[in-house]
Structure 1
Amino acid sequence: MIDLRSDTVTQPTPEMLEVMHQADTGDDVYGEDPTVNELERFAAALTGKEAAVFAPTGTQSNLIGLLSHCQRGHEYIVGHGAHTYMYEGGGAAVLGGIQPCPLPFAMDGSLPLDEVERAIKPDDAHFAITRLLCLENTQAGKVLPLEYLRHFSALAQRYELRRHLDGARVFNAAVAQSVPVAQICEHFDTVSICLSKGLACPVGSLLVGDQETIRSARRWRKMLGGGMRQAGILAAAGLYALKNNVARLHEDHEKAARVAEALATLPNIRLQEEPQTNMVMLAQDTVVEPLQQHLLEAGIKISGVRWVFHQDVSDDDVDKILDACRSFA
């Protein structure tokens, strides 16, 4: 079965499984797991940050980031379709008493800075205290321009606000822009990095940032049940992925581009736009159900208008996808 629902469906390769099998382990809650410690040091250095903490999920790494920046009665400004707002169970509000202020994304996946600036609250007892600005990169497969990030960062610093990036697919953005990931991360105080999407680990995320914030995040991780024991088995997969699976992300981008180019020639399938990374986005008015059923009968799973390419979609799979789409047309 070819699965385009998400890049979270990726399976560890035999090479990744072998390093997991060979991993040195210890008790990570005591700070004694050597492989977890190595992963955190490597991730911090790779992103240009002082420290990192390993978490079991991206939802948790985002949440411990938000909780480390904000207190009860604080507010974070975020995209109205952002993962940290829409798809993480309202954890920041429920568990942290942090109020979200959602704004519409622009077509390029950014938050318009004039709208952000208008949403920052004055020092007035009527309002929650604006404390944090959140972005997502990539956002629906779209890469935030580096020039935009510079202006975003300058705005945040002008108002003395903290900056968090949901960088679940930040390596896709770095590869698409041919820049080191640290060049993106330098515009944020914390960045959440998912290892179990395009990097193809079975589990795990990282939060990177300065020493003080990561120390707070580690405490929040413990309170949220994210303290793990012999987690080196999982961290070994993360180390392998960061060292071996980043450069190959361009292959996923190329497959998405190839599929999009072919779909653009078909009469009854419309695209939102050309893909920038590993996601093909169909037009929102696409009637998905008959297409979904047709593809399923051909051995292809989709969940809607977002098709996500990853290491487990081969070139032969792309041929099968295109054949099935042409027969549907």
Structure 2
Amino acid sequence: MVTKIVDLRSDTVTKPTEAMRAAAASAIVDDDVLGSDPTASLFEAEIAALVGKEAACFVPSGTMANLICVLVHCEVRGSEVILGDKCHINVYENGGISTIGGVHSRTVPNNPDGTMDLDLIEAAIRDPHEELYYPTTRLICLENTHANSGGRCISLEYTDKVGEIAKRHALKLHIDGARIFNASVALGVPVDRLVQAADSVSVCLSKGLGAPVGSVILGSKSFIVKAKRLRKTLGGAMRQVGILCAAARVALNDNVSKLAEDHRKAKILAEGLSRIKGLKVNSASVETNIVFFEILESSNISVEKFCNFLKEHGILVMAVDTCSSIRVVLHHQISESDIHYTLSCIQLLFPQYLVGN
């Protein structure tokens, strides 16, 4: 019988800490839809100042956050957004920007590091004199860190260059910053500077930061007024939401400092996996808390067998879209001993484990 669970499926699986539960239980609340929940207002003001934007809006999820941001920037149906083909908005958000907002996606290939070639971004911008034939380009989206690229960080220099392209063509720039604090810590760049070029940012509070629920949208005051109206339309406006914001405030204050440790543990795991014959991992590409690796065909071990074997030992991992790839994500409730336990269990599947290589 398994008594130990090491959940590496995602950093969304973190559980609320006692400090979060206490803050939620004691939060002073009111009706946020009426704009009178003091805890929600305090949290939104604090995170807006931290991220360097005028205002913020708490929403239930990152998908809703991105949807609202795209729709505010692309108010006219038939508008077009330029974004990476492997980005979260394009792959994992149910096509909401098109089905709900009437916004057309123009995808540019993501490079292995999560960026898009700058010349391809510029080439994707429609000629405004040919609106008779084409959608109107209004927005460019980046994702930082880039999840499908293994949690790679988008640099300040690159972000600024995309921002320059956007301004040159009178476009807006949105950053899906679900893990922007991971990027800030890994790059050593303050988060407000990292997103300075962006007109809007979405930040997930329930991933590496470890809050139980929620994301936040950040932008100008006028942008957030429109965002709150759309939040209401989509059913995301909540009443005594200060209960959730109180927990998120603890997460922000307590857990940003733990992200570097998550990154360190991800490196330990990646380096351990790289010493196992039958697996392929590029440990040099692990920059934050996400590790992708492949099971080599020569090992004769399927993804299904691999995942089921680890599950029998209390280790939960996630298979990705290919037939041979696994994703693991570190978070503050995974210890270094959990990492070594995971590696020892994987070793049982691969007796060719090379200690010390």
The question of a shared fold, defined as TM-score above 0.5 by the shorter chain, is answered with yes
Question: After TM superposition, which residue ranges in structure 1, 4 or more long, deviate above 3 angstroms?
Answer: 283-287
2:292 to 281, 300, 304: 281
Q: Does 1:294 align with 2:309?
A: yes
How far is 1:147 from its partner? 1.2
1:114 to 110, 119, 125: 119
Q: Does 1:15 align with 2:36?
A: no
Q: Which residue of 1 aligns with 2:73?
A: 69
2:100 to 87, 95, 107: 95
Write the letter of the residue equivalent to 2:24. Answer: M
Q: Which residue of 2 aligns with 1:59?
A: 63
1:318 to 339, 351, 354: 339
Return the alpha-carbon distance in structure 2 between the equivalents of residues 239 and 248 of structure 1.
15
1:204 to 198, 210, 214: 214
Higher mean Cα deviation, 166-175 or 144-153?
Answer: 144-153
Structure 2: unaligned runs, 5 residues or longer: 320-325, 351-357
How far is 1:293 from its partner? 1.8
2:288 aligned counterpart, secondary structure:
coil
The 5 A counterparts of 1:263-282 are 263-274=273-284, 275-282=286-293
Return the alpha-carbon distance in structure 2 between the equivalents of residues 155 and 231 of structure 1.
38
For normalisation by structure 2, the TM-score amounts to: 0.90
Write the letter of the residue equivalent to 2:113. Answer: D
2:100 aligned counterpart, secondary structure:
helix
Write the letter of the residue equivalent to 1:20. Answer: A
Q: In structure 2, do the counterparts of structure 1 residues 29 and 284 end up closer, same or farther at CA, with 3 Å as the change threshold? A: farther
Return the alpha-carbon distance in structure 1 between the equivalents of residues 196 and 270 of structure 2.
32
Q: Which residue of 1 aligns with 2:224?
A: 214
Return the alpha-carbon distance in structure 1 between the equivalents of residues 153 and 70 of structure 2.
22
How far is 1:297 from its partner? 1.5
- Contact 1:272–1:284 under 8 Å retained in 2: no
How far is 1:85 from its partner? 1.2
1:24 to 21, 28, 34: 28
How far is 1:289 from its partner? 2.0
Query: Over residues 283-329 of structure 1, what are the superposed CA-to-partner deviations in whole Å (9 max), with x where a residue is unaligned?
Result: 38674222212211211011122110011211221121111121121
Higher mean Cα deviation, 223-232 or 293-302?
Answer: 293-302
Write the letter of the residue equivalent to 1:244. Answer: D
CA RMSD across the alignment? 1.2
1:283 aligned counterpart, secondary structure:
strand
- Contact 2:209–2:256 under 8 Å retained in 1: yes
Return the alpha-carbon distance in structure 2 between the equivalents of residues 36 and 90 of structure 1.
29
Corresponding pairs, count: 329
Return the alpha-carbon distance in structure 2 between the equivalents of residues 26 and 156 of structure 1.
39
Query: Over residues 237-267 of structure 1, what are the superposed CA-to-partner deviations in whole Å (9 max), with x where a residue is unaligned?
Result: 1111111111111111011000111111111
Q: Which residue of 2 aligns with 1:131?
A: 138
2:203 to 193, 204, 210: 193
- Contact 1:273–1:281 under 8 Å retained in 2: no
How far is 1:16 from its partner? 1.1
Write the letter of the residue equivalent to 1:80. Answer: D
Higher mean Cα deviation, 267-276 or 123-132?
Answer: 267-276
Return the alpha-carbon distance in structure 2 between the equivalents of residues 101 and 207 of structure 1.
23
Write the letter of the residue equivalent to 1:34. Answer: P
Q: Which residue of 2 aligns with 1:259?
A: 269
Write the letter of the residue equivalent to 1:165. Answer: I
Return the alpha-carbon distance in structure 2 between the equivalents of residues 257 and 194 of structure 1.
23
1:80 to 67, 71, 85: 85
Return the alpha-carbon distance in structure 1 between the equivalents of residues 96 and 276 of structure 2.
42
Q: Which residue of 2 aligns with 1:34?
A: 38
Provide the identity percentage. Answer: 44
Q: In structure 2, do the counterparts of structure 1 residues 285 and 328 end up closer, same or farther at CA, with 3 Å as the change threshold? A: closer
Query: Over residues 102-158 of structure 1, what are the superposed CA-to-partner deviations in whole Å (9 max), with x where a residue is unaligned?
Result: 111011111111111111111211000000000000002000111111211111111
Q: In structure 2, do the counterparts of structure 1 residues 317 and 185 end up closer, same or farther at CA, with 3 Å as the change threshold? A: same
Return the alpha-carbon distance in structure 1 between the equivalents of residues 339 and 90 of structure 2.
33
